[in-house]
A and B are shown apart, each in its own frame.
Chain A
Amino acid sequence: MFNLIRRDVILQKRLLMLFIPCLLFLIIMDANPAFIFLFASIYIPFNTYAYDEKTETNILLNSLPYTRNEIIASRYLGALVYMVLAVAITSLILLLFNRSFTIIDIALSIGLFLLFVAIALPLFYIFKPGYISPILMFSFIFLAIIGPRIVSFAADHLTVVTNFLINLSNPILYTGSALAALTVYGASWGFTTFVYKYKAL
């Protein structure tokens, strides 16, 4: 199982070399820290999904001594592992460049990341290969650009909701959203496992 997660790094050695430059570019462009965290977290998992979408990859993985449950589990656990690593590296770089960021930035990006993976991953196993990567690429960019604006728009205009949220104590708000994100993530995991179990390769 650990091998399946480690595989991602070997698989995209070259792309990883672009990882740091991309981060630096975003920092220089003065992008929103939350966006930088989100980008960094999604970088490795998304590239792997693009690989795994190919039928051949699924044939290979399923011909090796792995079970289908393990293959899916490695996707979901791997995403978490790489997210943690990415957040750590990104924080380090931001600190080095003396850029300020808050825990809220990290929490927001983690929340969005979990949501994104929870929605995107099953798609790779439901749809025919070839379509999903471009669709996701666009929706990711769309989400990244529009997402923060929607949040601030909502904050300004949907006062009922924001008032409700503001009235919640911080611990409740954070635990609540963390639980919600994890529930969605877990449900997505279960769903994908089920879909993959009966998938014809």
Chain B
Amino acid sequence: MQIIISNSSKEPIYEQITNQIKSSILTGELQEGSPIPSMRKLAKDLQISVITTKRAYEELEKAGFIYSIVGKGSFVAEQNLDLIKEKKLKVIEEQLSAVITNSREIGLSLDELQQIMRILYEE
């Protein structure tokens, strides 16, 4: 598991951590049941305070991404990946329909829209 944090980002550090661990789980880089470093170890490796990693882990736990066993550490929770994907897909559909509405308003064709999409996607 790799985590890169930025001290100059506006996003709080604990959020950077939760987001990166979440995406590692969603992409399958972290398998369910596999251990993640203890919050004290992670704090040391990232050179940040324990209370920050503690907060990140608490939020991940609340959101159901990880679980902790006292004395053993934290592990990736069983994820219903299909459900999460389905939810994300729904959000994407909503966002895309807004894009299509906007495109129609200024007369953008489907081809042109796809072209813009391709450029952005490959960026």
A and B touch in the complex (CB under 8 A): no
Interface residues of B (CB under 8 A from A): none
